[in-house]
Amino acid sequence: MKKLSLGSNHEWLAANRKDIQQIERRFFLKGAFSMSALALLSGCDLTHDVTTQRILNGASRLNDDMQARLFDPSRLAKEYPDGMITKPFPFNAYYDRSKVPAVDGDIYQLELLGLVREKKPWALKQLAALPQTSQVTRHICVEGWSAIGKWGGVRFSDFLQRVGADTTAKFVGFKCADDYYTSIDMATALHPQTLLALTFADETLPAEYGFPLRLRAPTKLGFKNPKHITAIYVTNVYPGGYWEDQGYNWFSGC
């Protein structure tokens, strides 16, 4: 898979984000027409051209903004009756099912980092002792397929309040036992249907669906719902993500 040459200085990117966006926007409007003309002449190789890639990335940042603006914090994703749950529920990851990480629930600890007041790690039992809620919602993959599942766990906004997270910060990032990482906007983190899920189909989260802890946000595409979460951090520095750093749209809301 071809990696994007995004550069490594994320802090610089974050600090100059507004300016970059403006420049990129101008680029986008000027370039979109001639780019499309060129695309037809030279085919898909053009996508890897540096200028084209800059324009496409600029458009993707513009789409981050548009989606954040379109996001209604009180708009709930549709909930379905239990009878509509997809069976079997698809497995999906950046690796094969045989590579699913085996996390030991007895010694597992959830780490908290960044702009959080109480950074004491959480054991699985402590998380299970918090008030639980569940939902039957549609999980939509960036590939296009969707499946309806039932997830249960702790409402993420309750958890963030409880640990004293700075909810005025921009991003919440996740690190996972399978080396996956991703991040979401604070507005989505605080959405009432965003859960730290401990169960799937009323049972302890199976390994392939993210044991011991995953994020369930029905207002985000599947790859923004990280599995096997080992650390959560709150930050104002754009954290990116495994797929996002390769060119997938960061906001990716539904």
Give SS3 for 164: coil
Burial environment of residue 250 by CB neighbours within 10 A (0 to 12, 13 to 18, 19 or more): buried
Q: Do the beta carbons of residue 110 and residue 177 sit within 8 Å?
A: no
**SS3 label, residue 132:** coil
For the bound state, the minimum distance from the C-beta of residue 35 to another protein, rounded and expressed in Å, comes to 9
Which position among 72, 82, 179, 202 is part of the footprint of another protein (CB under 8 A)?
72
240 makes contact with another protein (CB under 8 A): no
Instruction: Transcribe 39-73 into DSSP letters.
Output: HHHHGGGGGGSHHHHHHHHHHHHHHHHHHHHH--T
Taking residue 78's Cβ as centre, other Cβ atoms within 10 Å add up to: 9
Q: How far apart are CA 235 and CA 116, in angstroms?
A: 9
Residue 95 near another protein by CB under 8 A: no
Give the strand pairing for 171-176 and 181-185. Answer: antiparallel
* Smaller CB separation from another protein, 36 or 161: 36
Per CB under 8 A, the segment of 68-76, 162-170, 208-216, 227-235 that binds another protein is 68-76
Binding mask of the shown chain, residues 200 to 219, with x at each position contacting another protein by CB under 8 A: ------------------xx
Give the start-end residues of each E strand in the chain: 109-114, 122-123, 133-140, 146-155, 171-176, 181-185, 195-200, 203-204, 214-216, 229-235
Contact between 138 and another protein per CB under 8 A: yes
Among 7, 43, 81, 131, binds another protein (CB under 8 A): 43
Rounded to a whole number of angstroms, the minimum distance from the CB of residue 94 to another protein is 12
Q: Which is nearer to another protein, 20 or 39 (CB)?
A: 39
41 binds another protein (CB under 8 A): no
- In the bound complex, what is the minimum distance in angstroms from residue 59's beta carbon to another protein? 4
Work out whether 141 is an interface residue with another protein (CB under 8 A). Answer: yes
Residues that bind another protein (CB under 8 A): 1-2, 28, 32-33, 36-37, 39-40, 43-45, 47-48, 55-57, 59-60, 62-63, 67, 70-72, 75-78, 138, 140-146, 218-219, 243, 246-249, 253-254
